[in-house]
């Protein structure tokens, strides 16, 4: 599969910091979107071990606990990196056929049945805004999971488990999709890059962090000369609520 999405880590009792990884199945017998969950980020080691736009071979089984057809349970220790697509020129031929213009249609699908397609690449017709707001901190449920996880004995790693820190800011895209009846969408950004960006500017004040987020996620990724496309996906517990898992932004031809 081609890895296109690495979502922000979220707290989990059993797995610690779990990350949702998604991409395109390149197996010609079953092409299309695929989601790998759970992947424990520490299990994968450093970020460089597993990159977006790697082509990887994965051993996985259908995730019986998840009604979404795209969901698979990977064996994290059996993920083998085959190659890396370093430029948009190399990536777009894989992605182009999957780009759609109607978020409204995807939403209509999941309203009809929970197992409808849960991953997509949407080309907005108009990007209206990037809203940036302070992260409220983990919910009590998320904090409970973090506490449970950090209290457990760690058999694989020495030393105490550190708690997953909430990033300082959250962000949402507001956009209009290509559907004629579109009433606009507001979707939270759950791209790993939003978290890692905030880590690199941890020493700036709030205005400085906001500025860094806006420069990357709006000024750069949504520039008029970029063909901006959002990878979107829903959450198992909230099938009707889609989030932005990543951004595609090659220069327009």
Q: Name the residues that contact Zn ion, by CB under 5 A.
A: 103-104, 177, 179, 182
Q: Which is closer to Zn ion, CB of 59 or CB of 126?
A: 126
CB of 124 to Zn ion, least distance (A): 9
Distance in Å, CB of 105 to Zn ion, minimum: 8
Least distance (Å) from Zn ion to the CB of residue 183? 7
Task: Give the contacts of 68 (CB within 8 A, at least 6 positions apart).
Answer: 35, 114, 115, 118, 234, 236, 239
Rounded Cα gap, residues 210 and 182, in angstroms: 29
Nearer to Zn ion, 37 or 242 (CB): 242
* Closer residue to Zn ion (CB): 186 or 251: 186
Q: Give min distance, CB of 182 to Zn ion, in A.
A: 3
Euclidean distance between CA atoms 54 and 94, whole angstroms: 12
Q: Which is nearer to Zn ion, 121 or 177 (CB)?
A: 177
Minimal distance, residue 126 CB to Zn ion, in Å: 10
CB of 151 to Zn ion, least distance (A): 44
Query: CB neighbours of 238 closer than 8 A, spacing ≥ 6?
Result: none
204 near 212, Cβ under 8 Å?
yes
Q: CB-based contacts of 2: which residues, under 8 Å, 6+ apart? A: 23, 24, 26, 53, 54, 55, 85, 91, 94
d(CA 21, CA 44): 12
Which C-beta is closer to Zn ion: that of 44 or that of 182?
182
> Which CB sits closer to Zn ion, 65 or 181?
181
Q: H-type helices in 118-224, by residue range?
A: 140-151, 192-200, 206-214
Radius of gyration of the chain (CA): 18
Burial 183-196 (b: 16+ CB within 10 A, else e): eebebbbbbbbbbe
Look at phi and psi of residue 202 and say left if phi exceeds 0, alpha if psi is from -120 to 50, else beta. alpha
Task: Identify which of residues 20 and 177 has a Cβ nearer to Zn ion in the complex.
Answer: 177
Residue 174 CB, nearest approach to Zn ion (Å): 11
């Amino acid at each position: 599969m081609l890895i296109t999405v690495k979502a922000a880590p979220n707290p989990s009792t059993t797995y610690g910091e779990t990350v949702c990884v998604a991409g395109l199945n390149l197996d010609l017998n079953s092409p299309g979107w695929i989601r790998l969950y759970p992947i424990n980020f520490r299990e994968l080691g450093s970020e460089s071990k597993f990159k977006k736009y790697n082509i990887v071979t994965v051993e996985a089984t259908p995730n019986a606990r998840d009604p979404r057809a795209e969901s698979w349970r990977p064996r994290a220790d059996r993920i083998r990196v085959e190659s890396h697509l370093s430029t948009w020129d190399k990536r777009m031929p894989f992605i182009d056929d999957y780009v759609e213009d109607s978020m409204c249609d995807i939403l209509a699908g999941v309203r009809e049945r929970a197992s409808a397609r849960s991953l997509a690449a949407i080309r907005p017709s108009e990007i209206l805004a990037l809203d940036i707001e302070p992260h409220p901190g983990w919910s009590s449920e998320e904090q409970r999971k973090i506490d449970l996880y950090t209290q457990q004995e760690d058999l694989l790693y020495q030393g105490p488990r550190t708690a997953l820190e909430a990033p300082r800011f959250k962000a949402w895209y507001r956009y209009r999709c290509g559907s004629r009846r579109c009433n606009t969408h507001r979707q939270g950004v759950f791209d790993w890059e939003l978290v890692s960006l905030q880590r690199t500017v941890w020493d700036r004040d709030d205005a400085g962090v906001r500025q860094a987020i806006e420069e990357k996620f709006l000024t750069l990724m949504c520039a008029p000369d970029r063909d901006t496309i959002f990878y979107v996906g829903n959450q198992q517990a909230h099938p009707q609520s889609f989030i932005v898992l990543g951004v595609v932004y090659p220069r327009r031809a």
